[in-house]
Every structure is written in C-alpha cells, then in structure tokens.
Amino acid sequence: MNSNNDVIDDSRIVIEDDRIVSIGACSEPVGNALPAEELEHAKTLNARGKLIIPGLINAHTHNIYYLMRGLGMEFELLGWLKKAMWPCLSEMNAEEAYIGALLGYAENIKNGNTSVMDNFYMSRRNKANADSIAEAACKSGLRVGLVRGCHDVQGMIPLEFIEPPEEAAEEYERLIATWHGKNDGKISVWLSPVNLLYSSEKAIETLKSLMDKHLVGLHTHVAEAKREVEMIEERFGMGYIEVLDRFGIVGSKFHAAHAVWLSDREIDILAERGATVIHNPASNMLLASGIAPVSKMIARGVNVALGTDSPNNSQDMIESMKLAMLLQRVGLLDPQAMSPSTVLKMATRAGAQALGLEGSLGSIEPGKLADIVIINSDVIHNLPVYDHVTNLVLSGKCSDVETVIIGGEVVMENRVLKTIDEAGLIKEVKRVARDLSARALSRLGG
Ligand SMILES: [Zn+2]
C-alpha cells in the first residue's frame, strides 16, 4: 500500500522496536539490515507462502455494543437504540464495560484490525465506564481512539445520557489528562457529540474550544438515516455538514461517520476541508439506512475510510471491504464503480489519514510503525491467486488472519491471542451478558 501500490514478492521485513526498518529480498542476508548482536536476539516469523498486509484500520465501531450482539435486529436505527442499546447501556457497570470492550478488541485483533476508533457513551451515573474501556484498550495492545460520546439536548433520548456541556467538557479534560498518548502513544482521546441531533449549539462551541486547546479530533454520526437529515433541516435550515462547518469544526481532524444522505454542497465542503467520511456498509444495509455516495465522494476528493460499526454483528473489515465494493456497484449499476484496490486503500491508507497518522501507518514501508498482519493465503477458498488484492477483498475470510503485529508487538501468533486470555474472556462474556440483558429487559418491562 505504498504510493505505487506495489505488491512485493519474495521479501522479508525487518522490524526494530515499534518501526519497520527495512524491506528486502529473502535471499539478502538479514545482517545487511540488523547488526549481528541484535540479530542474535531477534524473533523470526516465517511467513513463506503467505500474504503480509498493513494492519486494517476499523475507523468506526462501538465495542461495548458487542456485548449486546444480535439484540434488536428487527428495527431501524431509532428502534434499535430504544429497544436494545439504551436499556443495556443504562444498566452497564464498569466490569461489564471492561469485558464488553475487551470482547470487541479481541475480535478486532483476530480479524486483522490493528487500529480501532471506538465510540462509546454511558449513563451519567457510570462515567468511570470510560476508564474501564481505556484499561481494556491498553490490555489488548490495539491502537485505539477512545471516542467518548456526549449528548445534551433533551427530549429524544433517556435523561440519564444527557449531560450539560460543562460537565462533558470536564470529563473530556480528565480523560485527555489520564489516557491521551498512553500505552506508547497507542491510545488517543477523541471528542464526540454522538449526533448533532442531540447536541446544542453551546455543546458544539464547547467541543470546538477543546479541539483547539488540546489539538484533539472530533468524531460524530452524520446523515445516517433520511429522517435525521429532515430533522436537522427543520432545526437549522441546512444540512449537517453546513451546520458543523459554521462552527469551524470541519477540518482534517473531523470524522463524519456514515454520510449516507449528504448534498453535493456538503460533499464539497468535506473535500475542501480535508475531512474524513467513514463508510459503514454492513450497518447501513442492516438498518436499511441507504447507500452512501462513496464513489462520488472519493471522486470529489473526500478521504473515505471504512468501519464495521456495531449494528453489523461482526467486526470483520475484510467483509466490510467486500460489502463496500458490492454496494457501490449495485447502487450505481456499474461494475467499475469501485475496485478491490480502492476498498483496500479505504481500510488502510485512508484510515491512517483519518487518524492523522498517514506518515506512520497505512502501508508497509521503512520508517513506518510496524502494524502488520500475516494472512494465510494458501487455502482452498483463496486459490488460485492471479491478483492478491482481488482475492483478499473478494475471497478472503477473517479466519485466514494468522498473526498480528501492532507497533512491533506480536499480539496474535498463529491465531493465539498473546495479550488476552481468550478462554477466560469467553467465560466472562457469557456470564455478564446474561445478567446485563436480564436487567435491561426488566427495565424495559417497567
Ligand atoms: Zn456508529
């Protein structure tokens, strides 16, 4: 995924500390890249016959929602929130948040995702759930954007998720001081008015001043369902992006998740400002939200990254790449509407740009961070291989991911997680999920 999209055969990658130091032919002595005394202590992973790709970047998901995997699947967005997510989130305690987040992080690693933008919020009673999620992120070894959400407009969502802007700002200050840059820089804190629908102008102004003060980014849901766009239009007389742009928020540190129903004017603003759209094809299909105009946005110069989101039930970025490509083709009735290499770029380099890390992530090149995934491509469903990228996107399965390296640390080797006790986690997830859903159900009954 370098700027030439080179596919390099017969190569070996040398990693020192958290960086890639060289890429050379297997026949070339490793001693050319590493001094003898360092070579002695080096760990060698044999990836002969396998495919090595940059770590995939899951640019929009909600890991703790995965503790509610499969609930409320018969609803559109608002019904799913009301009947499943909100009752569970209001009951969720710190232990459940930790286990839910770890479940999500483990799944991301197993699927070859090395960076995750993790959007969450919690009841006002349980603000420390954010710290549980951050602890799980550190434990996993993943590169995680902790995207802490806030709402302050009353009327549409349960009162316990509402907090005045000053209270949210205080919490952001605390989270930034505690977690931003932690775990060797793998953890970052992001601001998130979950949706402009639930945010006042005062809240947006407060968040903008935090962006300026701490140079942190802002990640929000934009124009996901058609009805939301009508409600924003009724309230402001213009579209989501036009409103947010008036506050000076739309720039290179701005993420618009979904962007299914944008006007051409809004697409042009996103392109001009160097902002990122995060496309979530599985979620858009599951909630019957619509087909985001991804091909058009890319053609107009918008950086479009890819996410699994949570109403999806799978944090599989290989599947999301395939769905993104197929959805554009069927939506535009054009087999050339999107190519495998475009969706792979969305899942790697565009994701890196979204994180402001295009110089450090998104491709395998000397000097970049060693976020690397080894995939077993010698399997029946992948053979023969005429083009690696086409096969990865259209035939690849997340279970083909064998080994995952993040910042030089091997976090999964031959499908065995190194940072998380998988068997223990499975037991814990089953225990807390049963209890949490029962409490949520009795809350709904009342
Ligand atoms: Zn979302």
Q: How confident is the model at residue 210 (pLDDT cuts 50, 70, 90)?
A: very high
DSSP 64: G
Whether residue 36 is predicted with pLDDT greater than 80 in this model: the reply is no
Of the ranges 29-33, 128-132, 316-320, which one carries the lowest mean pLDDT score? Answer: 29-33
DSSP result, 364-422: --TTSB--EEEE---SGGG-S-S-HHHHHHHH--GGGEEEEEETTEEEEETTEESSS-H
Q: What is the mean pLDDT of residues 120-146?
A: 97
Q: How far is the CA of 146 from the centre of ligand 1 (A)?
A: 13
Of the ranges 45-49, 93-97, 356-360, 381-385, which one carries the lowest mean pLDDT score? Answer: 45-49
* Residue-wise burial string across 229-247, b where 16 or more C-beta atoms lie within 10 A, e elsewhere: beebeeeeeebbbbbbbee
Q: How far is the CA of 334 from the centre of ligand 1 (A)?
A: 28
Q: How far is the CA of 318 from the centre of ligand 1 (A)?
A: 18
Q: How far is the CA of 119 from the centre of ligand 1 (A)?
A: 7
DSSP 52: E
Residues 6+ apart with CB under 8 A from 284: 224, 258, 260, 290, 291, 292, 327
Of 361, 364, 343, 365, give the one whose Cα is nearest residue 352. 361
Q: How far is the CA of 287 from the centre of ligand 1 (A)?
A: 11
Q: How far is the CA of 432 from the centre of ligand 1 (A)?
A: 23
pLDDT tens, residue by residue, 108-122: 999 999 999 999 999
Q: And the tokens for 63?
A: 């890991």
Whether residue 446 is predicted with pLDDT greater than 60 in this model: the reply is no
Q: Which residue has the tokens 């035939």?
A: 395
Domain that holds residue 31: 1-446
Whether residue 389 is predicted with pLDDT greater than 70 in this model: the reply is yes
Q: How confident is the model at residue 53 (pLDDT cuts 50, 70, 90)?
A: very high
Q: How far is the CA of 118 from the centre of ligand 1 (A)?
A: 9
Q: How far is the CA of 221 from the centre of ligand 1 (A)?
A: 6
DSSP 75: S
Whether residue 359 is predicted with pLDDT greater than 90 in this model: the reply is yes
DSSP 156: S
Q: What is the mean pLDDT of residues 37-66?
A: 92
Q: How far is the CA of 11 from the centre of ligand 1 (A)?
A: 38
Q: How far is the CA of 348 from the centre of ligand 1 (A)?
A: 19
pLDDT at 25: 85
Q: How far is the CA of 288 from the centre of ligand 1 (A)?
A: 14
What is the side-by-side strand order in the sheet with 409-413?
51-54, 372-375, 401-406, 409-413, 416-417
Whether residue 348 is predicted with pLDDT greater than 70 in this model: the reply is yes
Q: How many CB atoms lie within 10 A of CB 215?
A: 10
Q: How far is the CA of 279 from the centre of ligand 1 (A)?
A: 10
Phi, psi of 41 (to 5 degrees): -95, 5
Residues 6+ apart with CB under 8 A from 94: 126, 128, 129, 131, 132
CB 257 within 8 A of CB 311: no
Q: How far is the CA of 18 from the centre of ligand 1 (A)?
A: 30
Q: How far is the CA of 23 from the centre of ligand 1 (A)?
A: 37
Q: How far is the CA of 64 from the centre of ligand 1 (A)?
A: 12
Which own/partner pairs from 375-383 qualify as long-range (CB within 8 Å, at least 24 positions apart)? 375/50, 375/51, 375/52, 375/53, 375/112, 375/400, 375/401, 375/402, 376/50, 376/51, 376/400, 376/401, 376/402, 377/49, 377/50, 377/51, 378/49, 378/50
Q: How far is the CA of 265 from the centre of ligand 1 (A)?
A: 23
* Domain count of the fold of the chain: 1
pLDDT at 38: 77
Q: Give me the CATH number covering residue 263.
A: 3.20.20.140
Q: pTM above the 0.95 mark?
A: yes
Q: How far is the CA of 258 from the centre of ligand 1 (A)?
A: 8
pLDDT at 312: 86
Q: How far is the CA of 61 from the centre of ligand 1 (A)?
A: 6
Q: How far is the CA of 308 from the centre of ligand 1 (A)?
A: 9
